[in-house]
Chain A
Amino acid sequence: MGDSVASVTSSANVAGPARTIEVDFALVGHQESWRTAADVIARLRGPEHAPLPDDEIPDILPWIPPRPVCHVDVGSPIGAKARGLYIDSFIPPDRLEAVYTHDNLARVRAAAACAIKAGAKIVSLGGFSSILIEGNLDLLKMDLLKTEQLPEKHATVFTTGNTLTVAFIVQAIRKMCALQGRNIRKSTLLIVGATGDVGSGCARCLAPVVKRVLLSARNLERLRKLAAELEASGVQVEIAKDLQRFSAEADLVICAASLPSPSLLLGRVAPHALICDAGYPKNLSPSAEMPGATVFFGGLGQITGGLQFAPDFRGVLNRHPFPDVVHGCLLEGMALALERRFEPFSRGRGSITPDRVEEIETVAARHGIHLAPLYNADGPVEDAPHCRTECSRA
């Protein structure tokens, strides 16, 4: 922060006439762990103030009203530029369960209101935030969405960003198959969280190119509906709420929902399976229980045309082992802003199609936004010995 607070004044939260910076996009997110939350607060405190003790963070963060944290500038190799804001809803990392849904929706709604006040033309809703426009039926039954609608009369559009997330998951699966010399057409694909927006989008993109698809989710009715849709295209589909009920082992796995433990996959996953952790937060790690499996994080893209934060939150808001890596859901809003296409590209639940995935992939690629190098909790996976061997063989 400079001496003058007005030197960083944006239009965010400004009730008066002082709109000094045009905002193309806003990214709404939240921290996935207390560690990342502590790092954000430490960066806000600056080097002249000691970091807060760890036990203070859970006592402070939940009280912070949703608000902008920093400005985000993004560029593309073809010269396009877009300016945005990162807005944190400050949902406490340990309060993502259903019991906190009402409070969390109120936070996301307030964060969305910040984006609207800032004049953002497009808003990407990352992580839990996407629930606001995914149209979750259970929430409608709970009468929550009725009371937590977005502010009316504004020119801001919202996207969940899920289409680009699906694109990067699909690209990552194909890339890992190529790196390991796997024939994807002979693979059995398991999707955990298959009826969600991301899971069903992955199913539509990958089902036609694998041998068999296993779909798992909590809602059997939705599973049947998705299975029927895929079977109509001639795909061999099996559905189950319980992973252990599948008749076959999967050698490709997409976890589109966070798994409490990798051990849940045991018995239904081939010894040398490729496992894409596409949940949020990502919590699968290479496990001693599945020593032959390759776990990698999915849904991440990399910006090659320049990414800057003001104040500098590099490595804090995007904590990845490679530079300028960002979640696909947030990148979708940036790509659309660079393209000057301010439209609600991903909205609702279960409507992501291969055509739409290809469309957003093309937009992103035009602006230098590509699949991020693959890695997991232990580090990069593309340089792992089995990948190098298979690559050289290929």
Chain B
Amino acid sequence: MEPTIGLNGSPSIECTSLSPSAPIWQDVLAQAITGELIAAMNYASLSEICDDPEEVADALEHAAGERGHAARFAAEGRRIGIDVPNNVGAKHWKQLRLAFLRCIQDRDFIGCLIVQEIMLESFAVASYKRVGRVAPGSLGQTFASIAAEEEGHVDHAMAILRTERSLDPRRFDDKVHRLHLDVMTTLAKMLAKECKDGHCEVCHGSCVKPSLPDVSLSAAELRGASLQQYLKTLDALGLPGEVTLAWVTQLPV
């Protein structure tokens, strides 16, 4: 397990005297913060393979933005009396980071965008929107607001990816499929209704999924919304709907 990345918070505290839902929000926030930190690391890595100084600056700006999101989530945790841990070395997140680093190793800028903007951000945007609808007060507002900001990223990347696909749709779609098998298989395991591969190494105690209905969420809903967002994003890119349907239905549950 990699050490927790500090976000200017106080040491971990137990939530025994807090509202009954605080431990649930703690785990939801822990996943969100870990995801944002992974995104920040990914954009920082991306900046290293960009040739154009403007692209370098964009990537670094995105990295800073994602760290800012993580900090905002951490602040929301403190606001409800909890310190939220994170673990970018947790098994699934680590796999996702390694998949991105393989693209970096190949200096595959388009592959990086597909992994981060199409796959990971679909998951983030859809999940944050759902959480934003049910989380109380400023916690909900923060999730909703960050979801909207992440959608802005996706729009920017979509323009680049659509142009790339128009040059050679077959090659582009094959690349997306290869990355789908790598990245979305891991994401699907994270999104499964039950964690069948053991503890995710992010939740602070036992798995949070069975407790999600206590805050009007469910693992099935988060999975469904994420995969729907992913399919819609692929549709918008122009991939054939019948092909992406088969991809998604073949994912593990």
Contacts and interface: CB of A to CB of B under 8 A. Distances in A.
Given A60-B227, A63-B227, 10 more contacts: A5-B174, A44-B249, A45-B246, A56-B253, A64-B231, A64-B245, A65-B228, A65-B231, A67-B242, A69-B242
A8 B243 CA distance: 8
B240 A9 contact: yes
A49 to B, nearest CB: 5
Interface string A302-332: 0000000001000000000000000000000
Interface string B149-191: 0000000000000100110011001101100000000000000
Given A5-B177, A16-B165, A45-B249, A62 B242 contact: no
Contact of B240 (A8, A59, A60): A8
B236 interface: yes
B210 interface: no
Place the interface of chain B in its size category: 20 to 34
Interface string B114-145: 00000000000000000000000000000000
Contact of B243 (A9, A62, A63, A65): A9
Contacts of B165: 16
Interface of A: 1, 4-6, 8-10, 12-18, 41, 44-46, 49, 52-53, 56, 59-60, 62-65, 67-71, 85, 114, 311
Interface of B: 162, 165-166, 169-170, 173-174, 176-177, 193, 220, 223-225, 227-228, 231-232, 235-246, 248-250, 253
A210 to B, nearest CB: 45
Given A41-B249, A64-B231, A16 B240 contact: no
Contacts of B232: 65
A9 B240 CA distance: 6
The 5 closest A-B pairs by CB, nearest first: A67-B241, A6-B170, A63-B224, A15-B238, A59-B220
Contacts of B231: 64-65, 67
Contacts of A16: 162, 165-166, 169, 238
A4 B170 contact: yes
A6 B237 CA distance: 14
A68 B243 CA distance: 9
A114 B173 contact: no
Nearest to A70: B242
A15 B174 CA distance: 17
A68 B240 contact: yes
B245 A5 contact: no
Contacts of B249: 41, 44-45, 52, 60
B209 to A, nearest CB: 13
A1 B240 CA distance: 12
A18 B162 CA distance: 12
B128 to A, nearest CB: 17
Contacts of A114: 241
A13 B245 CA distance: 12
Nearest to A310: B242
A44 B193 CA distance: 21
Given A12-B241, A44-B246, A52-B253, A60 B173 contact: no
A53 B194 CA distance: 13
Contacts of A70: 242
A8 B239 CA distance: 11
A49 B250 contact: yes
A5 B237 CA distance: 14
A85 B236 CA distance: 19
Contact of A63 (B162, B225, B244): B225
Given A4-B170, A4-B174, A65-B232, A45 B250 contact: yes
Nearest to A69: B242
Given A10-B242, A15-B237, A63 B228 contact: yes
A9 B228 CA distance: 21
Contact of B245 (A14, A62, A69, A85): A69
A46 B179 CA distance: 20
Contacts of A4: 170, 173-174
B45 to A, nearest CB: 27
A17 B242 contact: no
Contacts of A12: 240-242
B220 A5 contact: no
